[in-house]
Amino acid sequence: MSAIFDALPGIEVPVESISTGLAKMWDYASSEGRPAPEGENSMAIQVNLVLHLGFRTDAADAVRQFGTAVNFSRRYPSRVVILCPLLEDQGVTEMRAKVYGECSIGKSPDDTRCCEFVMLSYPRFARASLENQVSICLSTDLPIYYWAHRFSDAAKLADYRYLLTTARRVLIDSASAPEGALTYPWPIPGSVRDLAGARLLPVRRSIGQFLGRYPVGVLATGLASIRLAHGAGVAAEARILLAWLKDRIEACGAARESAEIDPRAGVAPRAFDLRFAYDDGRFFRWNADVDTSHALFEADFGAGPSSMTASVALLPPEEALSEAMFF
């Protein structure tokens, strides 16, 4: 039995009758007075999303990621295929399938948007026929996006070359991916996107807007060091933020080597402490805690000290998903 597959909502149907199961599901919803597709526009599926729940996913996590996919689909009507590999598959030789669908109101009462989900539980024995089954479940002539979530070993993804090479984007999350995922030789490296980086969009924008008020020469001249301390809960985000800062300061004319992670302790679990030091006493500091949504900018670039409070947040999961997929 698959705890992940069983935890996900939906109606179990024979694998060979998934299309029929989806049609009956909508008929049943309509007969009960629940929202259901009323025409071609409400079923205008825009993308195919394959969510692959790796062996390091537990039932509660699977439900959370399912919720993220649902929220994403309310904005971008999707056909979502969720793959649930069996870790303990002795004696299991066949796949199981579930279907799920829902409709929601878009920008107006006449804007009804519907999405469809297919969940597949499969043993290793069925791996050879999985790609064919996935292709049958997807909407034809639409782009495919492949989200590999909490997989145990990057090398094992080589078994899913069809998805890795067909997908317009391959999505991983370096906050939960296994060691080696960032250096893995992906078949199409340019298609890989990190959800941890996508979550940082509001942070990069906020810091960029503050520093963008100052001339490039003021920011780069005399820069002695950039040190970024962080809490344990945002280690992946801090690594990406530091890489972004290195790119930006290099573009301004400063040395990349001046930026590094600060190992000092005492930073809250989801907090950042960023400091620029200059050889003439000038400074820039940014302290932010995602859990309290509070950030403080402090700076003195030669015209006297100034400070500004601001809010701080990471993108919600469904928005980070769309950011990584489309931008």
What confidence tens digit (pLDDT) does each residue in 235-252 have? 999 999 999 999 999 999
Give the lowest-confidence range in 110-114, 130-134, 251-255, 302-306. Answer: 110-114
43-47 mean pLDDT: 82
CB contact set of 10 (below 8 Å; sequence gap of 6+): 98, 99, 100, 117, 119
Helix (H) or strand (E) holding 149: strand 144-149
Identify any residues that bridge with 272 across adjacent strands, giving them in sequence order: 230, 288
User: Does the structure show a pLDDT above 80 at 206?
Assistant: yes
What gap in Å lies between CA 125 and CA 108, rounded to an integer?
Answer: 47
CB contact set of 316 (below 8 Å; sequence gap of 6+): 71
Of 270, 256, 261, nearest in space to 241 by CA: 261
The pLDDT assigned to 42 comes to 54
The pLDDT assigned to 211 comes to 96
Is the separation of the CB atoms in 294 and 311 below 8 Å? yes
Is the separation of the CB atoms in 277 and 234 below 8 Å? no
40-48 mean pLDDT: 73
User: Does the structure show a pLDDT above 90 at 107?
Assistant: no
What confidence category does residue 282 fall into, taking pLDDT thresholds of 50, 70 and 90? Answer: very high
Domain boundaries, the chain: 3-195, 201-311
What gap in Å lies between CA 35 and CA 44, rounded to an integer?
Answer: 15
The pLDDT assigned to 268 comes to 97
Q: What is the dihedral of CA 3, 5, 9, 13, to 10 degrees?
A: -130
3-class DSSP string for 49-118: EEEEECCCCCHHHHHHHHHHHHHHHHHCCEEEEEEEECCCCCCCCCCEEEEEEEEEECCCCCCEEEEEEE
User: Does the structure show a pLDDT above 60 at 90?
Assistant: yes
- CA distance between the termini of the chain: 38
User: Does the structure show a pLDDT above 90 at 1?
Assistant: no
User: Up-side HSE of residue 9: CA atoms within 13 Å toward CB?
Assistant: 13
The pLDDT assigned to 33 comes to 74
